[in-house]
């Protein structure tokens, strides 16, 4: 049986569509755990209405704990062998649960099942798919390297995890409410997974609402978040005995990009001078320079504009470049994401 988990926080507008797509799944044995994480809107009323109508829904209500603690609570409560965490404002594809069960029956040793997905830019009417080759990884390191290459390692909503593995490693659930918790969760999970299965099936639709997305808000303490993400990756690579893998440096470049782009969120309180100083301190520090050097070929043939910008080692130049890119991101989001992904293609 699968345990499908939907943590909910202030999602009254989108939650119904999310639950409808889940409950429309056929030919699958699953339980649906919906956790209201202290919502302040009418999400709780939506949950109660669905639970009264559908007996397979289990409801947990709690004061706001944050997503990582909510994942731990769900893992402890799950009755299924595998758990799938879904966002409350996204949707799954038709037949996704049945496909998951089919693949897990074929390879019961699987600890993590990884699906393809699309990012749907709702305002622009544009979708960007990430398609994966069907593959069985019997080495966690090989799977990690693949995730780094296609830039989807942070994501949890396109993966199913063996529940017993998560329960055995509570460090996968640090008590935090910022975005570093997603990465740490996957770092710990992949550190101990013995088999990872990738599927070409597009199982998930990430619904990107540009104006409402938390991703587009300034993350207070984003320098601490960057540090914790880097430490999580380094700890994972140490466990996998591959701390000098060059793909780690490429991954950190992407995190540097996220860090700098966030400095241009509309609600960022920093002045231009403060942003330049943040870039200098967090992107051009000695350790980061070392990673940047490892990520860029010695012959100076860079794989994309973000790597070129980072290699300039000039905080003012990085500021100017990302100011332009953030403008493109805010006004032409779908095309920006397509361009962004193309810069990492080799």
Instruction: Note the pLDDT tens digit of each residue in 92-128.
Output: 999 999 999 999 999 999 999 999 999 888 777 778 8
Count of beta carbons in the 10 Å neighbourhood of residue 244: 8
Residue of higher predicted confidence among 246 and 167 = 167
pLDDT band of residue 216 (cuts 50, 70, 90) is low
* Element of type H or E holding 54: none
pLDDT band of residue 346 (cuts 50, 70, 90) is very low
Best CA proximity match to 211, nearest among 157, 264, 259, 266: 266
Give the pair of three-digit tokens for residue 266.
């509309």
Best CA proximity match to 32, nearest among 17, 50, 45, 46: 50
Answer whether residue 82 shows pLDDT above 60: yes
Three-state DSSP at 203 gives: strand
Answer whether residue 213 shows pLDDT above 90: no
Instruction: State the average pLDDT over residues 228-251.
Output: 83
Distance from C-alpha of 91 to C-alpha of 101, rounded to nearest angstrom: 18
Specify whether domain 2-208 bears CATH 3.30.300.130.
no
DSSP codes of every residue in 65-117 = --HHHHHHHHHHH--SSEEEE--TT-EEPTTHHHHHHHHHHH-TT-SEEEEEE
Residues whose CB falls within 8 Å of the CB of residue 233, separated by 6 or more in sequence, listed in order: 183, 187, 248, 251, 252
The pTM assigned to this predicted structure is 0.85
Distance from C-alpha of 130 to C-alpha of 152, rounded to nearest angstrom: 9
Give the CA distances from residue 162 to residues 4, 243, 296, 337, in Å, rounded to whole numbers and listed in that order.
12, 25, 36, 31
Structural contact between residues 70 and 174, judged by C-beta atoms closer than 8 angstroms: no
Strand partners for 171: none
Distance from C-alpha of 86 to C-alpha of 2, rounded to nearest angstrom: 13
Q: Within 13 Å and on the Cβ side, how many CA atoms surround 207?
A: 16
Task: Outline which parts of the chain fall under CATH 3.90.550.10.
Answer: 2-208
Instruction: State the average pLDDT over residues 34-59.
Output: 96
């Amino acid at each position: 049986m699968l345990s499908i988990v939907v943590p909910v926080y202030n999602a009254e507008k989108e939650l119904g569509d999310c639950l409808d797509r889940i409950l429309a799944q056929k030919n699958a044995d699953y339980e649906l755990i919906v956790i209201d994480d202290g919502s302040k809107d009418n999400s709780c009323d939506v949950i109660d209405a669905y639970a009264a109508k559908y007996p397979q829904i289990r409801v947990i209500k709690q004061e706001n704990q944050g997503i990582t603690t909510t994942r731990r609570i769900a893992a402890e409560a799950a009755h299924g062998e595998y758990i799938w965490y879904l966002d409350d404002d996204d949707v799954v594809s038709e037949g996704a649960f049945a496909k998951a069960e089919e693949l897990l029956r074929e390879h019961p040793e699987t600890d993590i099942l990884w699906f393809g997905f699309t990012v749907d830019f709702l305002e622009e009417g544009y979708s960007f798919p990430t398609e994966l080759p069907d593959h069985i990884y019997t080495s966690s390191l090989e799977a990690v390297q693949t995730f780094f290459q296609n830039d989807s390692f942070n994501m949890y909503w396109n993966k199913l995890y063996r529940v017993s593995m998560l329960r055995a490693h509570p460090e996968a659930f640090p008590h935090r409410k910022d975005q570093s918790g997603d990465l740490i969760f996957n770092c710990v999970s992949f550190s101990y997974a013995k088999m990872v299965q990738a599927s070409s099936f597009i199982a998930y639709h990430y619904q990107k609402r540009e104006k409402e997305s938390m991703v587009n808000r300034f993350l207070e303490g984003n320098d601490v978040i960057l540090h914790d993400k880097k430490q999580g990756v380094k700890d994972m690579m140490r466990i996998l005995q591959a701390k000098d893998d060059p793909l780690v440096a490429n991954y950190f470049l992407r995190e540097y990009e996220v860090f700098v782009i966030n400095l241009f969120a509309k609600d960022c309180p920093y002045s231009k001078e403060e942003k330049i100083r943040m870039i200098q301190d967090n992107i051009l520090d000695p350790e980061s320079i070392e990673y940047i050097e490892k990520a860029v070929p010695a012959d100076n043939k860079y794989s994309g504009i973000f790597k070129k910008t980072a290699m300039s080692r000039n905080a003012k130049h990085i500021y100017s470049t990302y100011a332009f890119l953030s403008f493109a991101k805010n006004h032409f989001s779908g095309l920006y994401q397509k361009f962004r992904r193309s810069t990492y293609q080799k």
